[in-house]
Amino acid sequence: MKIGDLVVEPVFDGVMKAPATSFKGTTDEQWAPHRQFLDSDGMLAFALGGFLVRAPGDRLVLVDAGIGARTGAMMGGLGQFSGGELLNSLAAQNVRPRDITDVVFTHLHFDHVGWASQGGMIVFPNATYRCDTRDWEHFRDNDRVQPILAPIADRLTTWDSSGPLCPGIDALSAAGHTPGSTIMVLSSGTSRGLLLGDVVHCPVELLDDEWGGLGDLDPELARRTRNALAREIEGTDTPVAAAHFPGMVFGRLLSANGRRYWVV
């Protein structure tokens, strides 16, 4: 995906399989018109990984760092995950860990910070790590991510509100999923694209305001944030993607006859 002078590539780490009804209260009947988002077994196959942004000034920015070399079960009966491919995926794009200049986290859930460190060692030795202050305060002592985050503490730069992060990338605060959840706004010239973090897990959530989210710490705020996003991008030419979208593919939210459509 090219956004002006920015080149954005998905970096796969693994996959997380979950029943479609993980979205609370949804039924097979409700899913019937949305089979495009399910795999051949009728399951949600959430991608795990991050996005590599090649930005001006030789900046190589990794937005989210996958789940890491681990397998297991998500909390809340959300299904099984398997990660471990992120460094191989970067290598396939001719990127070594030491080439990464910035690691930017949309939020600090463990499936987004997995490769921040490994065995107590920083994985991207030349990178500045960046996240929202509110997420750092919320998650720094969390049992699950504390061991992963501790090694980056003295390499961390945090932001407190929406604004520029690095050339071509701006933070757009989007609280609800977590206190510091952030959408990354990619821009170059007149072109613009969005990386949604976990504001949206599956494009189906953008089609209907009533569709429930996943794992939101503040579900009501997350719903308002998600619906505001959908209204903003509906009918525009803005490409959007998120780390858990099937294939991490960019799409657009189109609008016709009072309905929204997801087009890749």
Count of residues near Zn ion by CB under 5 A? 2
Report CA torsion sign: 15, 18, 23, 29: positive
Residue 55 or 202: the one with the smaller Cβ distance to Zn ion is 202
Residue 102 or 198: the one with the smaller Cβ distance to Zn ion is 198
Residue 168 or 205: the one with the smaller Cβ distance to Zn ion is 205
User: DSSP string spanning 39-100?
Assistant: -TTSEEEEEEEEEEEEETTTEEEEE---S-S-EEE-GGG--EEE---HHHHHHHTT--GGG-
Helix boundaries (H) for the chain: 28-31, 86-92, 133-139, 146-149, 204-207, 219-233
Residue 55 or 85: the one with the smaller Cβ distance to Zn ion is 85
Binding range to Zn ion, per CB under 5 A, among 66-74, 178-186, 192-200, 230-238: 192-200
Q: Which of residues 74-113 bind Zn ion (CB under 5 A)?
A: 111
Give CA torsion, residues 157, 14, 247, 38, to 10 deg.
Answer: -120
If one asks whether residue 205 binds Zn ion (CB under 5 A), the answer comes out as: no
Residue 55 or 174: the one with the smaller Cβ distance to Zn ion is 174
Q: How far is the CB of 244 from Zn ion (least distance, A)?
A: 6
Q: Please state whether 64 falls in left (phi above 0), alpha (psi between -120 and 50) or beta.
A: left
Given 13, 64, 198, 216, the residue binding Zn ion (CB under 5 A)? 198
Q: How far is the CB of 201 from Zn ion (least distance, A)?
A: 7
Q: How far is the CB of 188 from Zn ion (least distance, A)?
A: 26
Cα–Cα nearest to 116, from 95, 89, 97, 135: 97
Residues 50, 93: Cα–Cα separation, whole Å:
13
Q: How far is the CB of 218 from Zn ion (least distance, A)?
A: 16
Residue 142 or 187: the one with the smaller Cβ distance to Zn ion is 142
Residues 225, 5: Cα–Cα separation, whole Å:
29
Residues 260, 204: Cα–Cα separation, whole Å:
10
Residue span 108-137 as binding mask against Zn ion, x where in contact by CB under 5 A, dash where not = ---x--------------------------
Residues 252, 262: Cα–Cα separation, whole Å:
6
Binding range to Zn ion, per CB under 5 A, among 34-42, 52-60, 129-137, 198-206: 198-206
Q: How far is the CB of 181 from Zn ion (least distance, A)?
A: 10
Q: Where does this chain bind Zn ion (CB under 5 A)?
A: 111, 198
